[in-house]
A and B are shown apart, each in its own frame.
Chain A
């Protein structure tokens, strides 16, 4: 049975968004697209390789600062700056990852957290480079993207291409090996797989795309702050990934959409958003064991089975 290019279809549908004529939803859509990329890149580690990263925001922040600094200080055009953001995110992931992958489970997670906090603290203190806690400001939309619509389409394009590449990665033998490693790292080691090399590679790829997401976010917000690497950002993207469903490719993207939309709705109704959001989060945790996407998938699979039986 031929695979339906569902992701492409969703992309086209998202491309129709500007027709709604509301600039607000354009901004929301841009935000969701960026966080979707961030979350899916994290899921390469989380869902596919079984590595719990508490510090993915490190690469997000590094990507954001790199891209913004190159654009503002060195006047390098957007696309090369963005790519540089991704590359530096990947480089940092290589550096930090080399240490992290020697550890397992909770220790791995803790070390990723420690590195992310170091990035945050460095950004916070290094006033001359990063602008410190008052941030790096005055990052404009690049000349050829000087309207929200254009920036939205550009973001969609970048995110679409990135997701497409990531899809290739997880569908490739490399990606399948990652899943094997997730299932049973010791067995993989026994059959001669250099588990650590695969894990490090996954870490670097995730770092690259997290950096791209960060670069987009910095330009989108016109400013970059140390907060971009703070642990709360890592927690945010982790929640999106798990809630959306870590065992499907686009689950985290759905999670990003849900969480950002939920945040907008809840904060517009009440100042007690932590209470409401916390309750909803807890409820979703109890009700949807595999995340939202996991739930939907099981439902659809069940319906297909009963249809097959019934017919």
Chain B
């Protein structure tokens, strides 16, 4: 490249890559690589945007076909020929039941396991249990759903003299097991991260190990445990296969743990594949998907805020 040309280029306004091209070759290449990596990093942002876009693109046409108020109705009967109903409430209520029931089982178990692993277990036991929880986390949900269908449902049927054992309770038991790895590992992290000085101070004042754990360490790890609880909710509300397989049933508002019920995810899973892409029902299913997306989004944002805010003052 002649000197004159180089000078003119240098005088040109610096716009993006042109700026980098006139430098030494290695530098140019390095700059290019950096941009290449940055483009890859933006994929995550693009995917989130694309998810919102496509959920809306398929969901919003609902409002041109049916009155928006129908979404808030108390009946989900989209297959009816005349005047179909698209009330999300029965599905949402079933999701709430399932979340509540599974958290009642999962939270105490998870936090107890976390306390045990972090504060009581020996090193060998600790590594066994942690590996074990990792294995549990990788259990395919369809397999747990199948187990619930084949084994748990008959048990529930006999114990509660239920018609077929396909109840919200059955689903919640499996979901609790699925949420356990999340709850346990995050609470365990939180408990372990409580500074040693807290424990030492408590022990030095004459408190026992148990009192230290329950009155000092656990309260100090409170934020982490709450985050674990919320992530567990996110996991349960988004879980599909297990609920689809055992809670099945008709979309009516559940009244007890032994009611059948159909949660939001299961409704999407069982109906989306079968309806026309141009029906109001198809659009409504995408709106339910959008609702699920925004619920988990909100949960994650709150957790992000909580975990970035907390730091221990030594």
Q: Indicate, yes or no, whether A interacts with B.
A: no
